[in-house]
Amino acid sequence: MIPTVQEPKKLTEFPMDACCFCRAGTRSWTKIAARPLGEQVACCQGCAKTHKVAEVPSKDEWFKAERDRDRERRRRAGVRV
């Protein structure tokens, strides 16, 4: 199980982030003791229950995966990337 924390209520006006595993919108973030605050990633409650801390990508890996998915989505839509 992955420890998580909810975003503060004052941040709920912003769009939800995509879970690092399933991409569902979530306001939950990892709370991994070995990582600094700026290195935590979005992780929904469902995935937090079924995945292990060792499976959580680094923030750089998460950002790269999101960029790659967005690039592929645009490519499939016929947008030059």
Query: What are the tens digits of pLDDT across the range 1-39?
Result: 999 999 877 766 778 899 999 999 999 999 999 999 899
CA distance to 27, 33, 66, 73, 75, per residue, from 79 (Å): 30, 41, 17, 9, 5
Helices (H) and strands (E) in the chain, counts: 2, 4
Both tokens of residue 71? 């690039």
Whole-model pTM: value is: 0.84
pLDDT recorded at residue 14: 74
**What mean pLDDT is reported for the chain?**
92
Both tokens of residue 37? 């605050």
